[in-house]
Amino acid sequence: MATLVIAEKPKSAERIAHALSDGRYEKESQNKAPWYVFQRNHEQFYVVPAVGHIYGLQQASKGFTYPVFDVEWVETFKKDKSANYAKKFYNNLQRLAKKCDSFVIACDYDTEGEIIGYNVLRFICGQSTAARMKFSTLTDNELQQSYEQRMAQLDQGLVDAGLVRHFLDWFWGVNTSRALMAAVKQNNRFSILSIGRVQGPTLAVLAEREREIQAFEPQPYWQLYADTNDFTAVHTEQRIFEKARAQQIYDASQQNNAEVTGVKQQQKQVKPPTPFNLTDLQREASRALKLSPSRTLQMAQNLYLAGLISYPRTSSQKLPASLGYKHILQDLQKRCGYGDYVKHLNLEQLQPREGKKSDPAHPAIYPTGQRPGKLEQDAYRLYDLIVKRFLATFGQPCQREATKAHLDINGHEFLAEGIRTVKSGWTALYAPYTSLKEQPLPQLTEGNAVSIQQVRMEEKETEPPKRYTQSSIITELEKRGLGTKATRSDIIESLYHRQYIRDTPIQVTQLGMEIIKTLETYSPAIISEELTRQFEQDMESVMEQKKKKDIVLEEAQEQLKAIMQQFQENEAAIGEQIIAALDETRRNERYVGVCPDCDNELRIITAKQSKKRFVGCTGYSDGCRRSYPLPQTGMAKPTQDTCNECGDPTVKIIRKGKRPWELCISTECPSKEEWNKKQQKQKQTKTSQSKKKH
């Protein structure tokens, strides 16, 4: 017979086949779904990929009532038409499993990977367990070692924790979402709404910040500055809330010179950064590369599948010595173009600076040293960031000198602060991603006079708390123990998709605010952080085999039944509160601007027959025919901004896996020249193809 190796995705399957066969494998396929065949030690091997989850949970009975807990695992393509692509991979697994008597799971080593492999194993292969490969990179050496040292069976704690997560997410997501939709239906309306297990508390965190901003009342204050030719000093009171006092200091400080009354210098040592875990990577990519957390995760996953970095879904800030630092650095030096950086490290004495966080399954994210080849621009920038962060962890501390100089201007104290790098250390390895600012002061001596160019008084206002960015809310969720490293960015995307939030920094829509307000009044447990954290802790206990999965699920069902009963008692009132906010949010999501012809609204409209979208005037019934074409791919969102070139409104086109594109709606705008050329070329191509057919 033979051995079936079950991989998570086609790309990883090919890399596993290459490693285990020393490159001597054959690729076969059916309906463009591949698998790989080779001989190893005179035994036949089939490496067959799933394509993510082949099975998903579905309600076993019919009906749209709630609460509901009777669920079953079914093939994804049977419950969701958009997953039809999975059927051909399912067919391959089913057919080839019959040829094999030995099975190895080689999916990613986490709860999701374990469930993917476990479901294939039990539902297709008819097995309860199998050998398990455990790896953090898709390099030949590690994959070969992973196979030779494979575990005798699946990690049962990981399996049970994965099952609990899937059941809890289904129980919570389906029942609470049905409850919301039923509440709206009670008021003779229909809308698709959701409020998942982590989604609800996340929205509540964002709504709380929105309330703080809305309730904030700015206070005026004044600041005084003394400008010299080389630097600016600030009055030591920083914020003066009495204008009369600020004016008094300003008037008294109109002098040509200031006396340096004290100079204090302090040497500071800035330690190297810690290695990236997923949250750190998402935060840093947002700061340095302006990439959203979801895009960062997607590209990091692709870099992992290409064998260029280790598994990105990790919580760890640890780089164990067993990785072989020297070998990786030598490969980065010789094969990847980082020789000018690696030469600054002592390869015989390598000790990375590590953080406190660990992960039992995977180390921190690190480059493998494989040659990157051709990468699209954003992917290369992310790869470069990961490489240089890895290099920087081995660097020397950065030496900084901070200077504080106190100036006296007619009895009033001003402070000038400066900082400069004395010895670059690790920052040279992390260039250009360092965020340390250079603001040196000239040589100042106590007792000397400094020439003052002017003293300024500026009126300002206290500012409300800052809105969360996608990166900062993910960091906040991690601090609060909500969600997982792998799911937080998806949760944020879901909130955008449901129109509960908009823009960056994140603003909660009226619909999002009303849902939180309504749930706080009638069903606060749905958005409870404590309850969500409790479930996360329970799943951790299941993974560590300290708690039985069945007990966790029974407890969750009882809690959810009580929550849903309370919800049902207030269904009509809940729906009534949500509907007005739903209408207003939908209107805002389509509103583009004011029609230049008739002063009615310009909105994003989808034609009923052709299903094509465009920007059109709401005064159509009164005879206005003003309209503008839009791209037909991606999601179109109003920006509430106007074009810098022509002053017309703009829309944002959001395409999966690509940067958002801000587009002026006017076809005559100079900024549209390239787009117009592209549209014309597409029309010419279609016309030419049509003529050839006839």
Residue from 46, 221, 304, 311 carrying the catalytic annotation: 311
Query: 146-170: per-residue pLDDT in tens?
Result: 999 999 999 999 999 999 999 999 9
Strand partners, 377: none
Q: 81 — alpha (psi -120 to 50), left (phi > 0) or beta?
A: alpha
Whether 296 and 285 have beta carbons less than 8 Å apart is answered as yes
* Structure confidence at residue 522 (pLDDT): 93
- The tokens 């709630």 sit on which residue? 66
* Structure confidence at residue 246 (pLDDT): 97
Query: 308-361: per-residue pLDDT in tens?
Result: 999 999 999 999 999 999 999 999 999 999 999 999 999 999 999 999 999 999
Please state, in angstroms and rounded to a whole number, the distance separating the CA atoms of residues 271 and 466: 28
C-alpha R_g of the chain: 30
Strand partners, 33: 30
* Structure confidence at residue 585 (pLDDT): 78
155-165 in b/e burial notation, b at 16+ Cβ within 10 A?
Answer: bebbbbbbbbb
Query: 215-264: per-residue pLDDT in tens?
Result: 999 999 999 999 999 999 999 999 999 999 999 999 999 999 999 999 99
* Structure confidence at residue 657 (pLDDT): 63
| The pair of three-digit structure tokens given for residue 682, joined into one six-digit string | 């597409």
Please state, in angstroms and rounded to a whole number, the distance separating the CA atoms of residues 336 and 655: 31
Strand partners, 262: 406
* Structure confidence at residue 676 (pLDDT): 66
* Structure confidence at residue 586 (pLDDT): 77
Sites in the chain below the pLDDT cut of 50: none
DSSP SS3 for 6: strand
* Structure confidence at residue 189 (pLDDT): 83
Peptide bond into 432 cis (omega under 30): yes
Strand partners, 496: none
Q: Which amino acid would we find at residue 412? A: H
Tell me which DSSP letter residue 32 carries: T
Q: Domains in the chain and their CATH numbers?
A: 2-154 (3.40.50.140), 164-214+469-582 (1.10.460.10), 220-271+398-461 (2.70.20.10), 278-392 (1.10.290.10), 594-693 (no CATH)
* Structure confidence at residue 582 (pLDDT): 82
Within 10 angstroms of residue 367's Cβ, the number of other Cβ atoms is 25
36 noted as active-site residue: no
DSSP code per residue over 619-642: TGGGT---EEE--SSSEEEEEEEE
DSSP code per residue over 405-464: EEEEETTEEEEEEEEEEEE-GGGGTSTT------BPPPP--TT-EEE--EEEEEEEE--P
Strand partners, 35: 28
β 2-7/412-423 pair status:
unpaired
Whether 407 and 414 have beta carbons less than 8 Å apart is answered as yes
Please state, in angstroms and rounded to a whole number, the distance separating the CA atoms of residues 667 and 648: 10
